[in-house]
Amino acid sequence: MNGAPPHRALPLAPVSGGRREGDPPGRRRWAAIEDPLPLESGTGLPGVRLAYETWGQRAADGSNAVLVLHALTGDSHVAGPAGPGHPTPGWWDALVGPGRALDTDRWFVVAPNVLGGCRGSTGPSSPGPDGTPWGSRFPYLSVRDQVRAEAALADVLGIGRWAAVIGGSMGGMRALEWAVSRPERTGSLLVLAAPAASSADQIAWGSVQIGAIRSDPGWRGGDYHRASSGEGPHRGLGQARRIAHITYRSAPELDSRFGGGAQPGEEPAHGGRYRVESYLDHHADKLVHRFDAGSYVTLTEAMNGHDVGRGRGGIARALGRAELPALVAGVDSDRLYPLAQQERLAALLPGADAARTIASPCGHDGFLIETDQVGTLVRELLARAPLPRQTSSPYVT
């Protein structure tokens, strides 16, 4: 299934690891938004639904709402255990809850699954207008399209302005787009490990991952969703995940954890694997059971096209629109989105001071792993955020 030695028996993967209609809903809810949703390309996307989760209680006027935006293979499940409907535990579980950095006794936390995703929101594996999966018919999306969908979700929820918009990596791109395109609806901003525009190096890494998926015979031009289990583009998606995961971690960390040693019981000279290969295989195997290859392509294409300055007179001029309290932070060992990109971004944002540094040996994934440091940044940001307006009946469920 994924290029592993033949003696390794692996469980059969579904044709798509994305959520399917009829699967347990878990904590998520759904919102239908403007139909069709206008896209930056000039087309419209009909029948859009966004899946989302919430924690805490919304003030009657929505002024205590905080938007949290996930990275490429994340989803709306920021906090909570794995279980029916949620194949993985909350990806920032340590940050959300009473007394935590995102204190749900005070803040109403909202996390949508991104448009184009596969964990409940409309994407390539979702039913199209004719009831069959969109597949190859699913349109190109930009980060701006995804934020437009999130703004429509805010309208449905009655939130005129977020107290804060927070995101890392792909979520950081969307958070930044919120601040540039809708500063009046963005009370404050936290961008973690994300740039103002994707660089040639980042586009190159994304492009080879897309190529790995599209070169898999199981891709079927993007129309694999009605194939049988085990016949999807699993090799390509797994290879894309291996490539990505190398960029998510740092070289010193990989060397200190795995060195050049062989996986126990396997000898590379006889078809076995090195320990680091086993590690990458593990992450590839997990992803093909919980993610959709079409969503991976769609979201990676959107990230490759990320540029807040496009059509706005350049990056500096675009960022000048975001006159609001802002924090920008990067990971000191990040080789995918180097800290220098966050330093440039912070220097150009009117409401930001110097970029903060998250110290971690773990590379780009440090923004997910170093929750104590991230929590400190979140607390600082929310101390700068607009105070929730007081009403005679402050909270609604």
Strands 44-45 and 37-38: antiparallel
Decide: helix, strand or coil at residue 87.
Answer: coil
Q: Residue type at 127?
A: P
**Which pLDDT does position 387 carry in this prediction?**
78
**Alpha-carbon gap, residue 85 to 68, rounded angstroms:** 20
pTM of the prediction? 0.94
Please give the angle made by the CA atoms of 37, 35 and 114, to the nearest 5 degrees.
50
The DSSP result for 147-160, as a single string, is HHHHHHHHHHHT-S
Torsion, Cα of 245, 248, 250, 256 (10° steps): -50
The residue among 62, 73, 80 whose CA lies nearest residue 26 is 80
CATH annotation of 29-396: 3.40.50.1820
Residue 11 has pLDDT above 70, yes or no: no
Q: Where are the domains of the chain?
A: 29-396
Residue 396 has pLDDT above 50, yes or no: no
pLDDT band of residue 389 (cuts 50, 70, 90) is low
Handedness of CA 43, 49, 51, 55 (dihedral sign): positive
Considering the chain, what is the average pLDDT of its residues? 94
Note the pLDDT tens digit of each residue in 133-175. Answer: 999 999 999 999 999 999 999 999 999 999 999 999 999 999 9
Residue with tokens 């694997």: 273
Count other C-beta atoms under 10 Å from residue 208's C-beta: 13
Note the pLDDT tens digit of each residue in 201-221. Answer: 999 999 999 999 999 999 999
Residue 351 has pLDDT above 80, yes or no: yes
Q: Which residues are catalytic?
A: 169, 334, 364
Decide: helix, strand or coil at residue 220.
Answer: helix
Residues in Cβ contact with 312 at an 8 Å cutoff, skipping those fewer than 6 apart: 180, 318, 321
